[in-house]
Structures are given as C-alpha cells and as structure tokens.
Amino acid sequence: MKRLDQVLAAEGVPAELELVINDVIVACKDIAFKLRQGELAGILGATEDENVQGETQKKLDVISNDLLKDILVANPYVRGIGSEEEDYTVAGSAAGKYLVTFDPLDGSSNIDVNLSVGTIFSVLEAQDDQSGDNQEVFLQNGRKQVAAGYVLYGPSALLVMTTGNGVNIFTLDTTVGEFILTKSGIQIPADTAEFAINMSNQRFWEPEMKQYIDDCLLGEEGPLGKRYNMRWVASMVAEVHRILMRGGIFMYPYDKRDPSKAGKLRLMYEGNPMSMIVEQAGGASSTGRMDIMDVAPKGIHDRVPVVLGSKNEVAKVVAYHSK
C-alpha cells in the first residue's frame, strides 16, 4: 500500500511541488477532522459575513479558508494563493515557484444537513517575478496547471488528484493519518445515461441547453434514443466523483438571471482543476462552445459555464450548441 508521498515520488514530481501538495493535504486532514466532529466542534451554521461572490459564509467556509491560507502562505515554495473566500490574491514567499488556487469548502450549503462537501485545489507555476498579491501572475489558462485535485469529505475522506500522469484516488487512513493509494488509472466511461443539473434553473437556460435536457427526458422515444437518470447533490466535488466512479455528465450552464456573469462556477478554482482531473481520466470538459481549460482568464474570480464528464455525452451537448 503506497502513501501519497511515495506515489508523487514515483511520478517524478519535483520535491518543491510535493511539499506544496503536502501542505494542502495537511490542511484538508484538519478540515476532515473538524467535519467528523460536526456540531461538537462548533462549525455548523452561517456567519454574518458575505464573501466576494456575494454568498453568505458558513462558519466552516471561513475555518477551511484560514487553514489553507495560513499553511500555504508560510510555505517557501508558494508565491501566492487565490481563494473563493478572499477578495484578492494573497502573497506568499517572494521566491516561491508555485501558485495555489482553491475552493476551501465546495458545497458548503450541505454542511448543516450532513451531506458531502469537499475541497478543490489547483497548482500553477509562477511565470514571472511579480508578487503573489498581484492577480495578473495567476491569469493562466487551465493547460498550465501542474497539479489539480480535490478531497471529498464523505463516509470516508478521499483525495483525488492528478499531476498530469493520470488520476489516482487515495483514502485517508485515520489510524495513521495518511492518505493511502486505493485506486489508480481512473477512466471515465465514454458513454452514459446519467446527467446532473439543477433543473430549478431551467427557465433561465439558453435554448440549446433546454433542448438537450428536453431530449434527455424524452428517453427512448426521443432523438437521443435512451432513457436517462438525473442526479443532483449541490456539491461539484460529489458530482464529479460520481462521474469518475461510473460515468455521467455534470452541467452548470450559463443562465440569464444575471447576464453580466458568464456562469455560476469559478474558472480558476473549480472549472480548471475539475477539467484537468476529468480529462486526465479520459473524459471531456467544455463551456458548451470551447474547452474549459482553453479559456483565458481575465480575473481570479471569473465564472464559466461548465459541462463535463463522459466524453461522448459532452460531445452531444457541444453539438447542440454548435447547431
């Protein structure tokens, strides 16, 4: 049974990058422990504050963000960090080689009802000598990522990660406090009959997305020729993990509730890392019109429409948008 550090060494990951990833994981272990304690740790409920996204912060949103921020900005190899919960990027070591972006607690609306949540992270190389508190240094497309992953806090805590050499899954062994490799070489089935989308937003979607979902619901008698099942957990980590395990397609498309926003999910710390994982597992990811990882970010909090999962099903959605 291989530990995370052994797998990273076998993949030839640079020692500095391994230390950055290790610090992310140290924080995630602490988050997992606090989640296991639940109300006993005083982590449930909301604060009186809103984040830069205009979302009310849960207590554990703030705790998780602070855990990750504090450990990473102290790492000598981290130039800076960007977080969903921070208005601006935060500087780390001036000599740091890496940039880390993260969603400290994806699906935090699920905390108080004891459903799955997760942490998503992405690592980039700093391309120039600018300070990490200058967001311009972060504005690279998703193809530049050197590592991406998430930790799913479910019945067991699972780390799913790629450094560009396929996708591995590690399970947290609480007896020793280490993530142990339990699955490797994950491959998403190319075909699926399962989709995940928030149907309550249907009236706001573009016609192309409405038509695709309508055709899914027609089942065997419709143009797609098969019966679909629908799932929705309201946690991107949980949705993507299900796709990795058995196939499927996850969509959070553009909608017209706020035309100034390109989508709901954030490109830098949700769309890009999840797209890297999915593509490394043989799946596909798209905005509906272009690959997510080819989108050029203009700001650290840019939003993007998301369609990802089983390759052939994503291609169908793209075909609807290109008609």
Tokens of 246: 């058995």
Ligand-binding annotation for 286, yes or no, is no
User: Do 55 and 95 fall within a single domain?
Assistant: yes
Look-up: residue for tokens 């203009």? 298
pLDDT for the residue numbered 164? 97
Closest CA to 120 of 265, 254, 16, 259: 265
pLDDT, tens digit, 9 for 90 and up, residues 206-233: 999 999 999 999 999 999 999 999 999 9
Q: How confident is the model at residue 55 (pLDDT cuts 50, 70, 90)?
A: low
Asked if residue 2 belongs to a known ligand binding site, the reply is no
- Domain span at residue 293 reads 194-322
29 and 145 both lie in a single domain = yes
Q: Which of residues 24 and 61 earns the better pLDDT score?
A: 24
Is position 114 annotated in a ligand binding site? no
Is 264 marked within a binding site?
A: yes
Same domain, 174 and 254: no
Distance CA 238, CA 244 (A): 10
pTM of the model: 0.94
Is 116 found in the same domain as 65? yes
- Residues 179 and 201 placed together within one structural domain of the fold: no
**Helix H or strand E segment including 99:** strand 98-106
Query: Does residue 189 form part of some domain?
Result: no
Is there a single domain that holds both residue 10 and residue 151? yes
Would the annotation count 222 as a binding residue? no
Q: What is the mean pLDDT of residues 149-161?
A: 96
Tell me: is residue 141 an annotated ligand-binding position: no
Residue 56 has pLDDT above 90, yes or no: no
Instruction: Give the CATH number of the domain where residue 235 resides.
Output: 3.40.190.80
Confidence of residue 40 (pLDDT cuts 50, 70, 90): low
Q: Are residues 162 and 212 in the same domain?
A: no
Considering the chain, what is the average pLDDT of its residues? 93
Domain count, the chain: 2
Is 302 annotated among the ligand-binding residues?
Answer: no
Q: 11 a known binding residue?
A: no
Would you say 108 is a known binding-site residue? Answer: yes
